[in-house]
Chains A and B, each alone.
Chain A
Amino acid sequence: GQNIDQPTEMTATEGAIVQINCTYQTSGFNGLFWYQQHAGEAPTFLSYNVLDGLEEKGRFSSFLSRSKGYSYLLLKELQMKDSASYLCAVNYNQGGKLIFGQGTELSVKP
Chain B
Amino acid sequence: DTEVTQTPKHLVMGMTNKKSLKCEQHMGHRAMYWYKQKAKKPPELMFVYSYEKLSINESVPSRFSPECPNSSLLNLHLHALQPEDSALYLCASSQVGTGTYEQYFGPGTRLTVT
Contacts and interface: CB of A to CB of B under 8 A. Distances in A.
Interface of A: 30-31, 33, 35, 41-45, 48, 50, 87, 89, 91, 94-98, 100-103
Nearest to B96: A96
B107 A91 contact: no
Given A42-B90, A43-B43, A50-B100, A96 B31 contact: yes
19 contacts: A30-B100, A33-B102, A41-B107, A41-B108, A42-B4, A42-B107, A42-B108, A43-B43, A43-B90, A87-B42, A89-B42, A96-B50, A96-B94, A96-B96, A96-B101, A97-B45, A97-B48, A101-B42, A103-B41
Interface of B: 4, 31, 33, 40-45, 48, 50, 55-56, 90, 94, 96, 99-108
B106 A96 contact: no
Q: Is the interface of A mostly helix, strand, loop or mixed?
A: loop
Given A96-B56, A96-B100, 9 more contacts: A35-B105, A43-B90, A45-B104, A50-B99, A91-B100, A95-B50, A97-B45, A100-B43, A103-B40
B34 to A, nearest CB: 12
Contacts of B4: 42
A95 B43 CA distance: 17
B103 to A, nearest CB: 7
Contact of A100 (B40, B42, B56, B100): B42
